[in-house]
Amino acid sequence: MNNYPKIGIRPIIDGRLGGIRESLEETTMNMAQDVAALFQSELRYPDGSPVQCVIADTCIGGVREAADCAQKFEAENVGVSLSVTPCWCYGSETMDMNPLLPKAIWGFNGTERPGAVYLAATLAAHNQKGLPAFGIYGEDVQDMGDRFIPDDVKEKLLSFARAGLAVAIMRGKSYLAIGSVSMGIVGSIVDADFFQNYLGMRNEYVDSSEVLRRIQLNLFDQDEYERALAWTKKYCKEGEDFNQSHKVKSRAEKDNDWEFVVKMTLIIRDLMIGNKKLKDMGYAEEAHGHHALVSGFQGQRQWTDFLPNGDFSEALLNSSFDWNGKRAPFIVATENDSLNGVSMLFNYLLTNKAQIFADVRTFWSPDAVERVSGWRPTGVAQHGFIHLINSGAATLDGTGKQKYEGEPVMKPHWEISDEEVEACLAATTWHPANLDYFRGGGYSSKFLTEGGMPVTMCRLNLVKGVGPVLQLAEGWTLELPENVNKLLDERTDRTWPTTWFVPKTTGEGAFRDVYSVMAAWGSNHGAISHGHIGADLLTLAAMLRIPVCMHNVESPRIFRPSAWNAFGMDHEGADYRACASYGPLYK
């Protein structure tokens, strides 16, 4: 069973005995229990199990009870701390002082013994002591003892909890780099200081030759391999070979490539999380794996110049299913782009959904589309769109063949039906790799993402003199007329998966128009998640002290720690100043 971090809930109370505290005990503990019930019903860990909460044994009216609570939280693997109160309490005596736990306070909006007073006083203490905390306060006054959680309070509680759990789950895990730098892509120059100081993660490194060694020595579960190969032959349709005739591989060579890439998939997974079957085979060291929450595979070029590429392995591992059935996706970055891997990880931990890894390839203006195809975009695409396409390594969940009320979606793995799994597979063809790019062969996935899905694209970049910065763009997937899609898509590699993307525009700055989004994007890669999750990404970034340089999240949805208000009235500038002032979470 996974030992996931828990949410700790601290019921804070007026410590004055002799009538005041006694009158508030039940109401205060009820707040804690009601929030725990909310979290347990609404939030899930990556394996689909309900989030677990730990409530302090008693209400906290002073420093001794605060210390007892802290001791309990440490013993029970609490990774996120939420204080709740319906009344005035002693702020600095009852506050959570653990510098590593994301913290929030819900101060009940009531007039009998206003929790808002405690909220304001204790947030001031957090700010003065350099321990940023999120403040949660309902818009409407409620009656003392009212157990209803208003929608605006609920939204902030859940946003805080999702981001806080992401922070806690990352802590202590690894990024596994399989190989080294890919084609000069700077994200594959893995920055260990960033992982350690900002994410609390360690870095593990394995030369690509370890994959080849395990293939040559059969260091994988042979029974699972036979099952995986049979499943692949049944469900993974081989597509047309578009290579020049003199380069086309023989049938025997293609079959050997299929066997090779299936073995690669097993091995990359085993490198990440281990496999007890390897111990049974006499390889106890290999059985451990590298405790990796995310990994990257270099591939290009030294590997792909003479061996099958990693597209099949990356696409299947990033999907929510394989020959073993439905399961949580593994986060694997193409070309060992660790920064896009982290971007995918952020999105994944906030949603529990598979992530699309893609090149942010081309901006198509309405004029350019009309010149090439004779069709002028209308509707949501009238101002142009962006072509997201990579080398056949994107999650198959990205087909959009999972449905909710008839609309295309991407779901957590426990909500996906068997029919939806087969639909995703049926919508994907696997083409022999473009041998001009991938001299060693392999197979690249090809699909077209269905239009109309709300999605968020994000990217983490490192900037000299600033450190990490996050950028994101909420928008929608787009479906083009069939002939237009064919004309535009085949101007690049026809063996790769395509997602057409239209970001929300605001008329200002980086979101003045669609072209401006493309022009302001900070890298050649992006991580694309189902849903408009930009607000949660801003909350997560603030917890990690990573400023956001570009976003299109509406102001009322932005939720950052209270201290950010003290760094000026321009929200994005304040975000930069606050992150610089507090510095990395783990340094």
pLDDT tens for residues 539-551? Answer: 999 999 999 999 9
**Is 359 among the annotated ligand-binding positions?**
yes
How far apart, in Å, are the Cα atoms of 161 and each of 101, 167, 551? 11, 10, 21
Place of tokens 């004055």: 16
CA distances from 199 to 192, 462, 546 (A): 10, 14, 10
Q: CATH no. for residue 47? A: 3.40.50.1070
What is the tally of structural domains in the chain? 2
**C-alpha to C-alpha distance for 557 and 536, rounded to whole angstroms:** 9
Same domain, 223 and 125: no
CA angle 417, 533, 351 (to 5 degrees): 40
Do residue 183 and residue 235 come from a single domain? yes
- Are 203 and 99 part of one and the same domain? no
270 is in an annotated binding site: no
Q: Residue 201 contacts by C-beta under 8 Å, 6 or more apart in sequence?
A: 170, 171, 172, 173, 174, 175, 195, 293
Residue numbers annotated as active site = 335, 359
CA distances from 442 to 234, 249, 251, 266, 297 (A): 18, 10, 13, 16, 15
Q: How many CB atoms lie within 10 A of CB 367?
A: 11
Question: How does pLDDT run across 332-380, given as a tens digit for each residue?
Answer: 999 999 999 999 999 999 999 999 999 999 999 999 999 999 999 999 9
Backbone torsion region of residue 203, taken as left when φ is above 0, otherwise alpha when ψ lies between -120 and 50, otherwise beta? beta
Residue 116 — very low, low, confident or very high, per pLDDT cuts 50/70/90?
confident
Q: Classify residue 207: in a domain, yes or no.
A: yes
Least confident of 80-84, 107-111, 252-256: 107-111
The pLDDT value recorded for residue 553 is 98
Domain assignment of residue 192, yes or no? yes
Task: Report whether 525 belongs to an annotated binding site.
Answer: yes
Nearest Cα neighbor of 357 from 429, 424, 296 is 296
The predicted structure's pLDDT at residue 434: 94
Residue 316, domain member (yes or no): yes
Q: What is the pLDDT, as a whole number, of residue 391?
A: 83
As a whole number of Å, the CA-based R_g of the chain is 25
Q: Which of 155, 170, 185 is the last residue of a domain?
A: 170
**Position 587, amino acid:** K
Decide: 82 and 35 in contact? Cβ < 8 Å. Answer: yes
393 — pLDDT class (breaks 50, 70, 90): confident
Of the residues 170, 200, 223, the one at which a domain ends: 170
State the alpha helices, DSSP H only, in 440-533. Answer: 482-489, 514-520
423 and 566 together in one domain: yes
Are residues 347 and 475 both part of a single domain?
A: yes
Q: Do residue 411 and residue 470 come from a single domain?
A: yes
User: How much of the chain is helix, strand and coil, in % rounded to 5?
Assistant: 40, 20, 40
CB 344 within 8 A of CB 331: yes
* Residue 515: HSE in the Cβ half-sphere, 13 Å Cα cutoff: 7
CB 481 within 8 A of CB 558: no
pLDDT in tens, 172-190: 999 999 999 999 999 999 9
- Burial class (CB within 10 angstroms; exposed 0-12, middle 13-18, buried 19+) of 467: buried
Query: Are the beta carbons of 292 and 284 closer than 8 angstroms?
Result: no
Average pLDDT, integer, range 47-51: 97
pTM as predicted: 0.97
Question: Within its chain, how far is the Cα of 505 from the centroid?
Answer: 23
What whole-number distance in Å separates Cα of residue 511 and Cα of residue 499?
Answer: 20
DSSP 8-state class, residue 381? G
In 65-173, where do the E strands start and end? 78-85, 103-107, 134-136
Q: Does one domain contain both 145 and 194?
A: no
Residue 206 lies in a domain: yes
Do 32 and 138 belong to one domain? yes
How far is Cα 45 from Cα 118, in angstroms, rounded to an integer? 32
Tokens of 564: 């950010």
- Establish if 140 belongs to a structural domain: yes
Per the structure block, which two tokens stand in for 27? Answer: 């109401």
Is 1 contained in some domain? no
Cα separation, 5 vs 73, in Å, equals 10
Structural domain ending residue among the three candidates 143, 170, 197? 170
pLDDT > 70: percent of the chain: 100
Confidence check: pLDDT of 112 > 90: no
Q: What CATH number does residue 521 fall under?
A: 3.20.14.10
One domain, residues 230 and 82? no
Res 62: pLDDT: 96
Question: 276 lies in a domain?
Answer: yes
Take residue 318 and report the two structure tokens written for it.
């990033």
**pLDDT, tens digit, for every residue of 466-477?**
999 999 999 999
pLDDT at 522 over 90: yes
Give pLDDT, residue 2: 80
Question: Do both 194 and 298 map to the same domain?
Answer: yes
Q: What is the mean pLDDT of the chain?
A: 96
What's the domain range around 131? Answer: 6-170
Yes or no: say if 264 and 211 are a contact pair by the CB < 8 Å rule.
Answer: yes
> Is residue 587 domain-resident?
no
State residue 12's pLDDT score. Answer: 97
Residues 199 and 283 in one domain: yes
Give SS3 for 526. Answer: strand
Q: Which residues contact 415 (CB under 8 A, 6 or more apart)?
A: none
377-381 LR contacts (CB < 8 Å, sep 24+)? 380/476, 380/478, 380/502, 381/478, 381/480, 381/500, 381/502
- The span from the CA of 70 to the CA of 50, in Å, is 23
Non-local (6+) Cβ contacts of 118 within 8 A are 12, 85, 87, 88, 89, 91, 105, 107
Round to the nearest angstrom and report the end-to-end CA distance of the chain: 31
* Beta-carbon count within 10 A of 582 CB: 16
Please answer whether residues 254 and 440 qualify as being in contact, where contact means their C-beta atoms are separated by less than 8 angstroms.
no
Burial class (CB in 10 A: 0-12, 13-18, 19+), 556: exposed
- Give me the pLDDT at residue 426, please: 98
Q: What pLDDT is stored for residue 392 in this prediction?
A: 78
Same domain (yes/no): 146, 198: no
Exposure string for 475-498, b = 16+ CB within 10 A, e = fewer: bbbbbbeeebbebbbeeebbbbbb
